[in-house]
Structure 1
Amino acid sequence: MGKVLCFGEILLRYSMGENFPQEQDMNAYVGGAESNVALALAKWNIPVSYCTALPDNFLSDKILAYYKENKVETTATIKSGERIGSYYLNQGADVKNAGVIYDRKYSSFSELKGSDINWEAIFEGVTWFHFTAISPALNADIATLCEDALKVASKKGITISLDLNFREKLWKYGSDPIIVMPNLAKYATVIMGNIWAADRMLGIKVDDKIANTTSDADLLIEAENSSRAILKQYPSCHTVANTFRFSEGENVKYFTTLFQEDKLYNSKTFHTDKPIDKVGTGDCFMAGLIYGIINKEQPQAIIDFASRAAFQKLFIKGDATTLEATEIIKLINQDE
């Protein structure tokens, strides 16, 4: 089995308690979308490597030691710059929340240039490359660096997955995602996101009637239409997945779809009114897709595993899942 290589920024997430700063209860978590995928895959015994940039200091060393302890290879990490990127988010809130505060300018990762990475060397032994729309949202240099990686990966026949994470607050350097992302998505063989991200970033239009509905039936139809449009627009892509998560107060509704082999598959619909941490659920789902595809599971088994893993992430504090694959499979079997 070859390695999965994840490329992206390691971030520190600072989450404040309800009584901050009267009670100084701010917690720090190591995370980042691509990092969460890498840690999940390592937890599920998939060989995985992480490529990022960190400053050369003791904090970076402690973070890299944490990845090593969790079976994520970090030899592709570049020591450069002076800052680790971070963001601030209230405990339990969604990363798409309007209140999220990013502190990522001038971070080591954001200051990477094309000459800093030898993709030919880094892709040695790699059979899967994962990146997200968050990295090219940072600046034009990182977007170009992503394209450089994709060209080499595509030439080598490496499977490429793209998560269409849309972070409006990050796209501030003058290029709209609809200009940048289609040029990167054309290399992807697996695309994950949701119908609204595909509209905003790839120009795959959402039916106007969907704006005011959370009906599973209507959303399943739109997911199939969007998936077919993506496959038509990007011939390299063979798999499209969508996540649907709706929150009203503490009540969360969650389900997902997978379009593969000219057929739409969907998960069961999950509900909870006791979420602990909403950060990282989509990343956990992405990791589940990679896990299932690498293990050559049938489409329904892939979507069942990825969805259950993602839903259970709602009850785990921190950015990445801590569940073993066997624990997730046990929960799936209990559902049947």
Structure 2
Amino acid sequence: MPTTETILDTPSPWHAGETLLQRHAGVAERMEMAGRKVIRDYMPDQHREFFAQLPFLVAGAVDAQGDPWAGVLEGYPGFAASPDPRVLRVAAVPDADDPLLAGLGPDRPVGVLGIELHTRRRNRANGRIAAWDGKRFDVAVAQSFGNCPRYIQTRDFHFSRSPALRFAGAPRERDGLDAPARALIARADTLFVASYADAGERAVDVSHRGGKPGFVRVDGNVLTIPDFSGNRYFNTLGNLVLNPRAGLLFIDFERGDVLQLSGRAEVILDSPEIAQFEGAERLWRVHARRVAFRPGALALRWRFDAYSPASLATGQWPAADLREPPEGTDGA
């Protein structure tokens, strides 16, 4: 069992963007100790076994233009494995038309999220690609940590085809969001976000966000997203403070459609809209600049089961936009 002395000897896992938001939330001192305990440079056996039972992973990477992308890697359970505690081996790569592919390759930083929707479990493994042959890759794990189950809607999965059969559809690339893309976002109860920071060595992260349908507002090419109470790590928003670029992923779970976008991001700590949206503690916005829609790209399909109790305790933009701003705030 680690002692207080050995924990304090461990370098802080937080960069300046994360600590800024932790201070703003009044939890910096507590998180300094907690981070040293829970963020490891290896995968515990529980995480190694967890990744091996998953049918998909969400990965985040950064392309040559500096744009982050989030995408799905899928395969029959066992396609991801951990041959030793510091390596995650993934026997899948993105399709040629997936913008995530441009960010992957030898020695490239990558963020990996393992999420099991039917149990609401999720764990992260971030690091660099140590081996790559165009069909599979190894991640040299630099950060491994778990996340709470809040805001994850439960869904059961099945494969509509073999995941070895590559996407054969016609991707649609845009400079902005068209009407079908806005409709998918408006009804979404889940999204994934890739972000990164160049605090020393570049580090990429990919995370999950969830709520009730309507928790993401889309105005033209601008998405506004509430940030609810969470683990106080501020990995995503901390990255956005230092480097205001985000890559979002939306999945049509019934059809296997994938919407990916990348653009400029901003974190909003003071706005009357925060109080108007039930459960929001802050907001963040993404101005979509590059968009890819790939209908039927995934072999996986999911059947909705239930909303997270945490999601049910939060709001939706259609209702929030009708609420009066709290007294003493500028409603403009």
Range class of TM-score, shorter chain: under 0.3
Q: Which has the higher contact order (CA 8 A, sep 6+)?
A: 2
Give the structure with the higher percent helix: 1
Greater share of residues in strand: 2
